[in-house]
Structure 1
């Protein structure tokens, strides 16, 4: 059995993880480039927890400037098996109000120009992504929220836009009309890459605002988004701490198959694989490539 290691990526307003004990920082070198920041590794209860500030300390990186491949690769290299993404988002539904946590289970990727796969020419692979969120991990987050008396909404679709600008009014109305629930700028390609790395993924989407479709609210602005995110950071820390304290010691099989997502996924014959790309895949795909 594989030891369970819980990874946490903190988004806007979440640059640290209170409650993390016996902390050590580790700068992980990745063949995919530089991760957003050093990893903060410690424990909560008996669970090893690895925290990464998505935008870096001081919020240095824009959503489009984040090296998502390096981040996921670095987390994989230190043994992360399950990954929780804490992300600020806007809402398209009146009942999904600012301050609420939404446990989304679907994504629509509207980003452009981001590297969204570890694979490519010389080592082609196609992983299943119909269910990008690990159902068992999401259920554990929901149970932790109930134990901490933190209201959450389970289920929903997160549309990921490129940014860094917020939506136009026409875009906001379009996404609302399509039935999407929340909007953000960072969970894609994060969820795709986690699946390729066989890391089980789930999102805690912190609603910071109603997107600009709402007739009774002002345009979205950074000050209000960050204020709500910071106000909810302590609740997010409580939720993650409870999740970690109740986490299993050994990795659970994922009902969505994330723990073995690369089984049968690689199309390129061994004799035609690019050795340079294969070397870069040592952490992500070593289980199936024999690295």
Structure 2
């Protein structure tokens, strides 16, 4: 049963923003409708138990996949999670590879991000004061370590570094674009990793991306190029493993944060009150 957010609403400590295959991975689920200053999130937030922890889940594209990458309500999603008590966020997603070394089925944990989107709302601090948040290392080091260790323990050796370039979408890249991205040394390509990561940073949340490679990008392999059919097939073939790693990471994440993420707003006068 869905409820409106209130003083008595359920809370969670860890958030997961994911897609197909993650809609029913929690136990004892309660749906919560959360109002934010940026509108509603992609869907009501599902809160339940996973690996003994309280977890909040938001389907990134909506449960009916109605939001294309450039229309996802990113600000509402991250704000809703924080308002429910979440301080650590996992972002599993499907990506393409910009190197033949990382073929379909690879699990990658990037440590850098390059933004090639345009027109997306990517800050909470638009009015009242200039807020400059450090983003030199966009992902939580504790979360990245937990993902790498959990994946190895499950027998799935991850690629534990790399740069994710995020494009506007919803179209896939041309071969020329793909080759140019690869020439920059970037290794992964996706459509949803930004502005999720920077919005998490602006809310002093930990954010970790788990990237499942579903294809070699258009400029890396000859042939017909990337197709949605191929992406969905490879994602479906690996979703059980990805869910298992997410569950293990949820269990492994610390209850007290000692990473740099909680202190990124220290000493900054914010023009708005965070939830």
What TM-score does the superposition give when structure 2 sets the normalisation length?
Answer: 0.92
Q: Structure 2 CA distance, aligned partners of 1:169 and 1:240?
A: 33
Counterparts of residues 75-94 of structure 1 (less than 5 Å): 75-94=81-100
Residue of structure 1 in register with 2:267 after alignment? 264
Is 2:131 the counterpart of 1:128?
no
Is 2:137 the counterpart of 1:159?
no
Q: Structure 2 CA distance, aligned partners of 1:282 and 1:86?
A: 25
Deviation at 1:31, TM superposition (A): 1.1
Deviation at 1:245, TM superposition (A): 2.5
Deviation at 1:17, TM superposition (A): 4.5
Is 2:218 the counterpart of 1:212?
yes
Greater mean alpha carbon deviation, residues 228-237 or residues 70-79: 228-237
- Partner SS for 1:240: helix
Corresponding residue to 1:22 among 8, 25, 28? 28
Computed over aligned residues only, the root mean square deviation of the Cα atoms, in angstroms, reads: 1.6
Measured at CA, do residues 247 and 282 of structure 1 come closer, stay the same or move farther in structure 2, by a change above 3 Å? Answer: closer
Deviation at 1:258, TM superposition (A): 1.3
Query: Unmatched 5+ residue regions in structure 1?
Result: 284-291
- Partner SS for 1:152: coil
Deviation at 1:15, TM superposition (A): 4.3
How far does the alpha carbon of each residue in 1:155-181 deviate from its partner, in whole angstroms, 9 at most, with x for none?
000000001110011101100111100
Q: Structure 2 CA distance, aligned partners of 1:192 and 1:56?
A: 21
Residue of structure 2 in register with 1:71 after alignment? 77
- Structure ranking higher on relative contact order (CA contacts 8 Å, 6+ apart): 1
Residue of structure 1 in register with 2:14 after alignment? 6
How far does the alpha carbon of each residue in 1:67-111 deviate from its partner, in whole angstroms, 9 at most, with x for none?
100000000001111111011111011110101110001000111
Corresponding residue to 2:63 among 57, 60, 76? 57
Contact 1:134 1:201 in 2 (8 A): yes
Contact 1:15 1:56 in 2 (8 A): no
Residues matched between the structures, number: 265
Q: Structure 2 CA distance, aligned partners of 1:122 and 1:78?
A: 25
Measured at CA, do residues 158 and 208 of structure 1 come closer, stay the same or move farther in structure 2, by a change above 3 Å? Answer: same
Q: Structure 2 CA distance, aligned partners of 1:228 and 1:195?
A: 31
Counterparts of residues 140-159 of structure 1 (less than 5 Å): 140-159=146-165
Contact 2:164 2:186 in 1 (8 A): yes
Q: Structure 2 CA distance, aligned partners of 1:164 and 1:215?
A: 20
What TM-score does the superposition give when structure 1 sets the normalisation length?
Answer: 0.87
Query: Unmatched 5+ residue regions in structure 2?
Result: 1-10
Deviation at 1:145, TM superposition (A): 0.8
How far does the alpha carbon of each residue in 1:15-63 deviate from its partner, in whole angstroms, 9 at most, with x for none?
4152x21211111111111210111111123211111110000111000
Contact 1:15 1:57 in 2 (8 A): no
- Partner SS for 1:232: helix
Structure 1 stretches of at least 4 aligned residues deviating more than 6 Å after TM superposition: none
Contact 2:214 2:230 in 1 (8 A): yes
Contact 2:203 2:274 in 1 (8 A): no
Residue of structure 1 in register with 2:246 after alignment? 240
Deviation at 1:151, TM superposition (A): 2.3
Contact 1:14 1:53 in 2 (8 A): no
Residue of structure 2 in register with 1:112 after alignment? 118
Counterparts of residues 149-188 of structure 1 (less than 5 Å): 149-188=155-194
Is 2:140 the counterpart of 1:137?
no
